[in-house]
Structures are given as structure tokens and as C-alpha cells.
């Protein structure tokens, strides 16, 4: 199993705090993201520690640091740097991240600008900023993906083909994989190595294979999923 890559995570910032939430992606121009839990550790030495210490984590300060290039017109960056000389509550908003495995971390945060746009004359303007969580973030562990409602049946036209019929939600798209066993897919996990699919299109397959069908959002994270073993009747015969 390959290690997940950082671009497979989705980082979002609410650029309308105090109103209807408007989460936009933190991505364009940003080359790195680094979460840090900054744990506070209380160390004490007890008589039965025989010269060692006993440690207890008593608190933490969860901070996500971003760095990259200033992209004018990017809604997330424009909102952040509009706060350059602002202080107090105007720096407060909400943050949400979705990991490659579907883990979601969210909560209120404070934007701290650590690098004002600048740099060499011939280089893109470098920037950096921290999103400092206020209080304990909410962490939602991944669960099985919501079932995708679709009808899998033999092609009406092409011998040796099956098809899946189902409509993705607004802004979403479909994809599929054929495998020898049903896949286990989590809600919001990142999906890759799939075949883009249009509802009702023919899929060349054989009986005994599993047809795994995804509904994915614009960032390739799973919205819904279904896996079905194909029977002979699901494939158009000669």
C-alpha cells in the first residue's frame, strides 16, 4: 500500500465568518502545509521513578502552517491578506481539513500572518501564515461511505459489457474500478486510479468481477460509493 501524498488532503477556510459559511480551498499557490499539535507536557519526578520523570500531556495548541506564493485573485489568499493590519475578532474564522483517509478536523481559528508578500525581484512573492485553532478542534474519524443508489445491468448494445445508471449530485462526478474483490471505501477519503464515468455508459467486464462505483466531489473525495459483484446476467451475452 502506497503512502498518501499531501496534495490528497483538502484544506478549507471559511471566508464569510459570522454569516453563512463559505468554505474555499487553500491550495492555489501554496506549496506546503504543516500541522503541529504543540503539546504542553507536565513532567514530574516521583520517588518510584528512580530518577526518571513521569510525563502528562496537559494541553495543546493545534496550528496549521502554510507557505507558498501570493496568488492575487485567489479568494482564500485575498481574504487572509485583507487582514494584514487588522487585529482582534476580525482575524477569527473557521478551518476544516479532510485527510486522504477521510478524517475531518474542523473548528474556529485565528489567522496569523507570518510572512508578508515579498522576496527577490525576479521571484514570485513568498507568503506564509498560520491557522491557530481556538479551543479543541472537532475530529471526525472516517466511516463507511454512504451507499450510492445506482442500477447495474447488462448493456443494451455492446456484447461483454455492463453499465451503471445513477445521477451524481450537483458539482460531483462518477468514476469506477473493476476489481477481483469488493473495495472498502470510507466517506470523504481521496480516490485515485479510477476510470471517469458517465451514467449509463458501457463498461467491458466479466462475471465474477466487482464493479466499484464512486460519486466524487470536485476535489476527488468520496461522497457516495457502491460495490457489486457482477453476475452473468449483468453482462450482455453474445
pLDDT tens-place string over residues 22-46: 999 999 999 999 999 999 999 999 9
How many alpha carbons lie under 13 Å from residue 27 in its C-beta half-sphere?
Answer: 14
CB atoms within 10 A of CB 46: 9
Strand order across the 210-216 sheet: 195-197, 173-179, 210-216, 222-229
> pLDDT tier at 212 (50, 70, 90 boundaries)?
very high
Q: Report the predicted TM-score, pTM, of the whole model to 2 decimal places.
A: 0.90
Report the C-alpha gap between 175 and 182 in whole angstroms: 15
Q: pLDDT tens across 141-189, in order?
A: 999 999 999 999 999 999 999 999 999 999 999 999 999 999 999 999 9
User: What pLDDT does 112 receive?
Assistant: 98
User: What pLDDT does 236 receive?
Assistant: 96
Report the C-alpha gap between 201 and 162 in whole angstroms: 8
- Cell numbers linked to 44: 514530574
Residue partners of 178: CB distance under 8 A and separation at least 6: 203, 205, 209, 210, 211, 212
Nearest to 64 by CA among 10, 141, 21: 10
- Residue 2 confidence (pLDDT) above 80: no
CATH fold label, 6-45+53-140: Factor Xa Inhibitor (4.10.410)
User: What pLDDT does 3 receive?
Assistant: 87
- Stated as kind and residue range, the H or E segment containing 80 is helix 75-81
User: What pLDDT does 176 receive?
Assistant: 98
Residue 186, strand partner residues: 144
Query: Quick one: DSSP state of residue 71?
Result: -
Q: pLDDT tens across 49-77, in order?
A: 999 999 999 999 999 999 999 999 999 99
Q: pLDDT tens across 214-236, in order?
A: 999 999 999 999 999 999 999 99
- Cell numbers linked to 151: 442500477
Q: pLDDT tens across 124-143, in order?
A: 999 999 999 999 999 999 99
- Residue 1 confidence (pLDDT) above 60: no
Q: Where are the domains of the chain?
A: 6-45+53-140, 151-234
- Stated as kind and residue range, the H or E segment containing 104 is strand 104-118
Amino acid at each position: 500500500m502506497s503512502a498518501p501524498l499531501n496534495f490528497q488532503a483538502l484544506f478549507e477556510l471559511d471566508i464569510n465568518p459570522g454569516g453563512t459559511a463559505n468554505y474555499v480551498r487553500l491550495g492555489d499557490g501554496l506549496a506546503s502545509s504543516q500541522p503541529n499539535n504543540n503539546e504542553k507536557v507536565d513532567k514530574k519526578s516521583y520517588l518510584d521513578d528512580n530518577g526518571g520523570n513521569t510525563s502528562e500531556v496537559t494541553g495543546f495548541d493545534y496550528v496549521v502552517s502554510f507557505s507558498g506564493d501570493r496568488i492575487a485573485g485567489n479568494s482564500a489568499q485575498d481574504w487572509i491578506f485583507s487582514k494584514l493590519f487588522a487585529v482582534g475578532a476580525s482575524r477569527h474564522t473557521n478551518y476544516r481539513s479532510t485527510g486522504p483517509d477521510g478524517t475531518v478536523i474542523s473548528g474556529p481559528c485565528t489567522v496569523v500572518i507570518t510572512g508578508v508578500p515579498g522576496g527577490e525581484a525576479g521571484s514570485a512573492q513568498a507568503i506564509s501564515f498560520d491557522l491557530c485553532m481556538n479551543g479543541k478542534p472537532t475530529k471526525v474519524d472516517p466511516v463507511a461511505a454512504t451507499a450510492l443508489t445506482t442500477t447495474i445491468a447488462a448493456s443494451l448494445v455492446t456484447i461483454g459489457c455492463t453499465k451503471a445508471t445513477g445521477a451524481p449530485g450537483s458539482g460531483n462526478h462518477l468514476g469506477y474500478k473493476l476489481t477481483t474483490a469488493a473495495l472498502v471505501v470510507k466517506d470523504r477519503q481521496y480516490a485515485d486510479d479510477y476510470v471517469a464515468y458517465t451514467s449509463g455508459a458501457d463498461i467491458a467486464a466479466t462475471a465474477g468481477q466487482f464493479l466499484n462505483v464512486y460519486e466524487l466531489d470536485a476535489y476527488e473525495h468520496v461522497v457516495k460509493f457502491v460495490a457489486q459483484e457482477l453476475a452473468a446476467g449483468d453482462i450482455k451475452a453474445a
